[in-house]
Structure 1
Amino acid sequence: MKSIAYRAKGFMLPVAIFLLVTLAALVGYAMRLSLLAQMGTIQDVQGANAYLAARAGVEWAAYQVLSPGSVSMQSCIASPTTLTINNFTVLLTCNRTVPKDKGNTQDIGMYSITSTASIGAVGAQDRIERQIAVTLSRCLYLDPGAPPGTVAEECN
Structure 2
Amino acid sequence: MKPLNQTHAKPTPVKYCAPQRGFSIVAAIFLLVVLSGLGAAMVRFSTIQHTSAAMDEQGMRAYQAARAGIEWGLHLSLNDTATSACFPEVSFNPPAPQLNEFRTTVTCQSVQYAGANPQIIVRRITSFACNRPTGGATGTCNGPAVGGQDYVRRDLQAVFQMSPR
Which residue of structure 2 aligns with residue 133 of structure 1? 157
Superposed displacement of residue 74, structure 1: 5.4
Q: Distance in 2 between matches of 1:129 and 1:17?
A: 48
Aligned counterpart for 1:90 among listed residues 104, 115, 121: 104
Aligned counterpart for 2:88 among listed residues 48, 60, 78: 78
* Contact 2:104–2:129 (CA under 8 A) maintained in structure 1: yes
Number of equivalences: 134
Which residue of structure 1 aligns with residue 3 of structure 2? none
Unaligned runs of 5+ in 1: 141-152
Q: Distance in 2 between matches of 1:83 and 1:2?
A: 88
Q: Distance in 2 between matches of 1:78 and 1:119?
A: 22
Range 37-46 or range 21-30, more displaced? 37-46
Moved over 6 A (4+): none
Give the letter for the 1:89 counterpart. R
Q: Distance in 1 between matches of 2:81 and 2:107?
A: 23
Q: Which has the higher strand share?
A: 1
Which residue of structure 1 aligns with residue 125 of structure 2? 113
Superposed displacement of residue 20, structure 1: 0.9
SS at match of 1:109: strand
Q: Identity over aligned residues, as a percent?
A: 29
Note closer, same or farther for the CA distance 1:71–1:135 as it changes in structure 2 (3 Å cut): closer
Unaligned runs of 5+ in 2: 1-14, 134-145
TM-score normalised to the size of structure 2?
Answer: 0.72
SS at match of 1:75: coil
Note closer, same or farther for the CA distance 1:101–1:54 as it changes in structure 2 (3 Å cut): same
Q: Distance in 1 between matches of 2:81 and 2:157?
A: 26
Q: Distance in 1 between matches of 2:17 and 2:41?
A: 42
Question: What's the RMSD between the two structures over aligned residues?
Answer: 2.0
Aligned counterpart for 1:3 among listed residues 12, 17, 31: 17
Q: Distance in 1 between matches of 2:150 and 2:82?
A: 44
Q: Distance in 2 between matches of 1:124 and 1:40?
A: 14
